[in-house]
């Protein structure tokens, strides 16, 4: 494969499972960290050989809590990845970290390893809200971590925040966002709280112990945040993401623009070009099973040529889905509409040899009449009203 890839590494270790979290993450598996890093390194070598050493444009180490990895393990992981793949010289390299798991020395250490983007899971600047979410850090620890990160010299720092917590008044969200803006991060991800099946929060809501998030309150918070973030000089470039000029997350842009990405690690998803669409596949979720499966794959020797056949022979791959032309066009549209710049009509034509506005003429006419989408400057995008009703737009386009 000649295309460059965005590389994702999943590190599923956490100190405690947060109340709202449905990510593939586990508390109490720290003992597996060493073998897990070796398994990811081995999986990187397998994929590199299979794909012909594609260049890596961005690397994102997500989780879980990647900052729980001891510095030597992270060093080993990055060295193995750089050995397996040619990294582009300006490769954006992100590590997610939680306040309370890092200190000044650790952050300096990972910056020295070539990590140039840090994403801090702050979520709230109110300790009672953090406790209700089962976050283990305090607001003060988040501020300290930010200060250390700035001094460590990362080119870009992101803060993740969550709004619309159960019974959260607007003023409390405003206070959290004001405190975040005052720190001066380069990037902010603001997520509306959702209740995911199987989480502690879902149990609490079902039992009436906690009120469910209020859609109207969340819309009001988003409305206020849009104005406040613009006034603070941040560009709103994706439904939940804001950046100072030059600090958009290039890795996540690869997902939203449907460019190839390769995921390594338990539960990691990949999407690579295949036929006139692409092939999506994902690794087994259990970290223990993942380690065993990668070892089996290494013992099995050389892989079949061609993606779907090779996937069938890889025991760590839990599932796959081939997306043909029709599916690929829909996904390209839906993912692109998440971006405030929207979808380029010319890019759609270049990738699929079709006209976007003709291909989706029916639903787009309806959505345009409702004032939810618009074409401007050769791009189809959500209107401001469409931004608040994005889920409705996506359902109509499915």
Spatial distance between the Cα atoms of 377 and 389, rounded to a whole number of angstroms: 22
Strand pairing report for 56-63 and 87-97: parallel
Task: Give the position of tokens 């040619």.
Answer: 86
- Which residues inside 117-136 make contact with ligand SF4, applying CB under 6 A? 121
Judged by CB under 6 A, does residue 18 bind ligand SF4?
yes
Return the residue of 5, 7, 14, 51 that touches ligand SF4, per CB under 6 A: 14
Judged by CB under 6 A, does residue 185 bind ligand SF4?
no
Judged by CB under 6 A, does residue 23 bind ligand SF4?
yes
- The three-class DSSP label of residue 335 is helix
Nearer to ligand SF4, 15 or 331 (CB): 15
| Nearest alpha carbon to residue 32 among 243, 335, 382, 294 | 294
Spatial distance between the Cα atoms of 341 and 324, rounded to a whole number of angstroms: 26
Judged by CB under 6 A, does residue 98 bind ligand SF4?
yes
- Which residues inside 62-91 make contact with ligand SF4, applying CB under 6 A? 63-65
Q: Among the candidate windows 60-68, 105-113, 314-322, 323-331, which touches ligand SF4 by CB under 6 A?
A: 60-68
Judged by CB under 6 A, does residue 200 bind ligand SF4?
no
Judged by CB under 6 A, does residue 266 bind ligand SF4?
no
Task: Give the position of tokens 């409705």.
Answer: 392
Judged by CB under 6 A, does residue 101 bind ligand SF4?
no
Query: Could you tell me how many residues of this chain bind ligand SF4 (CB under 6 A)?
Result: 11
- The three-class DSSP label of residue 233 is coil
String marking each residue 246-265 x if it binds ligand SF4 according to CB under 6 A: --------------------
Angle between helices 390-397 and 361-369 (to 10 degrees): 150
* Cα 308 versus chain centre, distance: 25
To the nearest whole angstrom, how small is the minimum distance from the Cβ of residue 101 to ligand SF4?
A: 9
Judged by CB under 6 A, does residue 364 bind ligand SF4?
no
| Nearest alpha carbon to residue 67 among 38, 37, 96 | 96
* Cα 385 versus chain centre, distance: 25
Q: Among the candidate windows 58-66, 185-193, 251-259, 323-331, which touches ligand SF4 by CB under 6 A?
A: 58-66
Helices (H) and strands (E) counted in the chain, each on its own, are 17, 17
Q: Give the binding site for ligand SF4 (CB under 6 A).
A: 14, 17-18, 21, 23, 25, 63-65, 98, 121
């Amino acid at each position: 494969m000649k295309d460059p890839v965005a590389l994702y590494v999943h590190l599923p270790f956490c100190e405690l499972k947060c109340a709202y979290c449905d990510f593939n993450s586990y508390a109490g598996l720290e003992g597996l960290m060493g073998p897990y890093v070796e398994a990811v390194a081995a999986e990187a070598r397998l994929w590199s050989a299979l794909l012909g050493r594609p260049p890596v444009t961005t690397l994102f180490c997500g989780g879980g809590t990647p900052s729980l990895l001891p510095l030597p393990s992270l060093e080993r992981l990055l060295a193995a990845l750089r050995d397996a793949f040619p990294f582009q010289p300006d490769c954006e390299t992100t590590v997610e970290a939680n306040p309370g798991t890092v200190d000044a020395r650790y952050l300096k250490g990972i910056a020295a390893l070539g990590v140039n983007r840090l994403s801090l899971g702050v979520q709230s600047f109110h300790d009672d809200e953090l406790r209700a979410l089962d976050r283990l850090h305090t607001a003060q620890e988040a501020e300290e971590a930010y200060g250390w990160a700035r001094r460590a010299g990362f080119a870009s720092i992101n803060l993740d925040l969550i709004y619309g917590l159960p019974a959260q008044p607007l003023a409390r969200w405003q206070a959290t966002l004001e405190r975040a803006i005052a720190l001066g991060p380069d990037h902010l991800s603001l997520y509306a709280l959702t209740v995911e099946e199987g989480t502690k929060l879902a149990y609490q809501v079902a039992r009436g112990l906690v009120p469910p998030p209020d859609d109207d309150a969340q819309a009001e918070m988003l409305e206020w945040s849009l104005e406040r973030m613009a006034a603070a000089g941040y560009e709103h470039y994706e439904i939940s993401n804001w950046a100072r000029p030059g600090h958009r997350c290039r890795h996540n842009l690869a997902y939203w623009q449907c460019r190839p990405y390769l995921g390594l690690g338990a539960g990691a998803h990949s999407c690579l070009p295949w036929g006139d669409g692409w092939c999506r596949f994902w690794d087994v979720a259990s970290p223990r099973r993942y380690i065993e499966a990668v070892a089996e794959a290494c013992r099995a020797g050389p892989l079949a040529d061609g993606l779907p056949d090779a996937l069938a022979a890889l025991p760590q791959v839990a599932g796959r889905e081939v997306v043909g032309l029709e599916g690929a066009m829909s996904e390209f549209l839906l993912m692109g509409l998440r971006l405030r710049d929207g979808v380029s009509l010319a890019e759609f034509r270049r990738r699929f040899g079709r006209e976007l506005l003709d291909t989706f003429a029916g639903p787009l006419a309806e959505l345009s009449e409702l004032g939810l989408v618009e074409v401007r400057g050769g791009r189809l995008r959500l209107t401001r009203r469409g931004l608040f009703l994005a889920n409705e737009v996506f359902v109509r386009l499915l």
